[in-house]
Structure 1
Amino acid sequence: MSGPPGLGRTSVRAEAAGISPVSSANADARASLSETSPSRRLGRQSMRSATTNKNVEWISSPGAWAFYVGLLALGWLAISFFVDSGLAWTIVHLVHGIASFWLLHWNKGSPIESDQGRYDQHTFWEQMDSGVQNTSNRKFFMLVPVVLFLLATHLTDYRRQPLGLNLAVLLVLLIAKTPAMHKVRIFGINKY
């Protein structure tokens, strides 16, 4: 029998098939490693669920972004029945800015009882993606106010008053979302 010692029958079968005995042995080893027992898989799932922040994990679920954009579109549609299109986008942008600042950057903690106070000092934004910066979720939530700003300013023909309001809301939201502001409390506001 040729080939490296210790390969036994694997090398004989591999040579008969015209395959290098070493690669066949490696393939057998990989196959045995890839087979995991159900108890090991269950252990990994329970460990993953114990470390997953249920307060923010919904953001990574399929359809969360579409639902978010759909809510904004429905808000615009409801408001546009009463005012012109540009002003409706301005109202949507302002309401979205106030609501998202309050929900993402002001409220702290998690309503999930099993978190046991682990996230009491963190805002929703700080909890998102375990605090990792520049993820696709964070980029999406930075893009939404920019798109709303562009829609609102363009459709109001860049009139002075809506432009100033829209720009102020955009700047506050974008500054709050920058990595430099992660876990920063300006002048100690909202520290406790």
Structure 2
Amino acid sequence: MSRPTTIKLPALDLSAAKSHTPLRARGRSGSIVQVEEVGDRSVDEVLDRSAYVNINADWVNAKGAWLIHVVLIIFGKIIVDTIPGMTQQISWTLVNLMYLALSYLMFHWVTGIPFENDLHGGAYDDLTLWEQIDDGAQYTPAKKWLVTVPIGLFLASTHYTNYNPWLFAINITALIFVLIPKLPQLHRQRVRFMADGASGMATPLTPSFPNSGRSTPTQEVIPDLITEEHFR
């Protein structure tokens, strides 16, 4: 009877697998359009705002504050009509655009308060005049009036321009551009275009080889001795 033949397999060398190069990762670029909230809603900020009367926004509820819009529109219409060769269509369009531009600049572009800012501890630095009116409350009489005036001026300019399609497109585009920041959904919201900075997350590159479904051993495996008995 012959002696069983012993076959010994060489040990697996997994040192190369341990020293594999990790997958590279690339930083995720910033979003093209980013919406972020400004202003602090903490108790300290609320106390700073209520410590003194905000003169910068309190005037909109004063006597004559509503009438001043109508006076400015009429005064601007008279000034524009004095330009030689001015037609009524162009005149109403210019008055509408100038009022909307002034309204947007005053209520939605400039932030903070121009005077006595130290009395409020900088609580209004990031807020526009529209966001300061009535302490940020929505659908107040003052805000309803400030929404009604540009809409009424747009309707008047549309009527006196004889519903010219080109002038109508210009006027309604300017109106929408001014009304959008007045929406309650955009209160204290800022739309940033081409915002800098990465998102803080890394996007891993997809490996070039598929997953085998088995876990990779982390230590060397010494196989058992294989004899002829295994093949019987």
Question: Please, what TM-score do these two structures have when normalized by structure 1?
Answer: 0.69
1-structure distance, mates of 2:51, 2:91: 43
2-structure distance, mates of 1:116, 1:89: 43
Q: Which has the higher helix share?
A: 1
Who is 2:87 aligned against? 84
AA partner of residue 140 (structure 2) = T
C-alpha distance after superposition, 1:110-158 (max 9, x if no partner)? 0122334120010000001110000010011101110111111110111
CA change 1:188–1:135 in 2 (3 A) is farther
AA partner of residue 107 (structure 2) = L
2-structure distance, mates of 1:117, 1:50: 12
Who is 1:60 aligned against? 61
What number of residue pairs does the alignment pair up?
Answer: 143
Secondary structure at the aligned position of 2:189 is classed as coil
1-structure distance, mates of 2:62, 2:132: 16
2-structure distance, mates of 1:74, 1:116: 38
AA partner of residue 58 (structure 2) = E
Identity of aligned residues (%): 35
Who is 2:131 aligned against? 126
Who is 1:40 aligned against? none
Who is 2:98 aligned against? 95
2-structure distance, mates of 1:171, 1:155: 20
1:1-192 to structure 2, matched below 5 A, reads 50-82=51-83, 83-113=86-116, 114-187=119-192
Aligned 8 A contact 2:131 2:187 in 1: yes
Q: Which ranges of structure 1 fall in alignment gaps of 5 or more residues? A: 1-48
Aligned 8 A contact 1:76 1:92 in 2: yes
Q: Which moved more, 1:159-168 or 1:82-91?
A: 82-91
Structure number with bigger Rg: 2
2-structure distance, mates of 1:129, 1:156: 36
CA displacement at 1:50 relative to structure 2: 3.8
2-structure distance, mates of 1:176, 1:152: 22
Aligned 8 A contact 1:104 1:123 in 2: yes
CA displacement at 1:90 relative to structure 2: 0.9
Aligned 8 A contact 2:107 2:128 in 1: yes
AA partner of residue 74 (structure 2) = A
Who is 1:38 aligned against? none
CA displacement at 1:188 relative to structure 2: 6.1
AA partner of residue 145 (structure 1) = P
Q: Which ranges of structure 2 fall in alignment gaps of 5 or more residues? A: 1-49, 195-232
Who is 2:210 aligned against? none
Give the 4+ runs in structure 1 shifted more than 4 A: none
Who is 1:4 aligned against? none
Higher relative contact order (CA 8 A, sep 6+): 2
Q: Which has the higher strand share?
A: 2
Aligned 8 A contact 1:109 1:122 in 2: yes
Aligned 8 A contact 1:55 1:111 in 2: yes
